Amino acid sequence: MKKSIAVIAVSLVAFAGSAGVAKADYPPIEEVKPSTIIATISYDRTPDSIDDAARRVFATVPVGTVKTVVGYTDESFTPVIPGVGAGQKFSVRITTASGKTLSLPNVRSIGNGNLRLPTMSISEAGVYTVKVTSSNGKVRTLRIRISN
């Protein structure tokens, strides 16, 4: 009798422990993948996801200004522009030094007013210009200087 009670107790503890472990994020986080337009730029196709492994690059960029930040080749980073207002929609375009452009998925600022751009990685050193345009046409420009 004691043996069967002990087996039941261990089984219940194991079941309870395994039930609390399972967790899923929806939608699934997609990896940072190379662009088909500019092969040196890789970015996250699911911009609302959070890549905790990526370095956050905070840059206050008022409307109509240009702010320069530094990154490194093959480093995953997430540009964050604080103070843009909560729940606003933005389009994002990256231009290389040679003039090639790439449009990233549209993003929306989060509840605290920060705009978190898609996580990206750039494999070639150079200066990349990121234009962030709000739905009312106001532009913020982030210049990313990538070095080795």
- Segment 85-102, tens digit of pLDDT: 999 999 999 999 889 999
Domains plus CATH for the chain? 28-147 (2.60.40.420)
> How far is Cα 8 from Cα 4, in angstroms, rounded to an integer?
6
> Is the pTM above the cut of 0.85?
no
- Segment 23-59, tens digit of pLDDT: 333 333 356 787 877 888 988 877 666 677 788 999 9
User: For the purposes of burial, counting CB atoms within 10 Å of the CB of 37, is it exposed (0-12), middle (13-18) or buried (19 or more)?
Assistant: exposed
Main-chain phi, psi angles of 100, to 5 degrees: -70, 140
pLDDT at 4 over 90: no
For residue 47, what are the contacts with CB-CB under 8 A and spacing of at least 6?
104, 105, 106, 107, 116, 117, 118
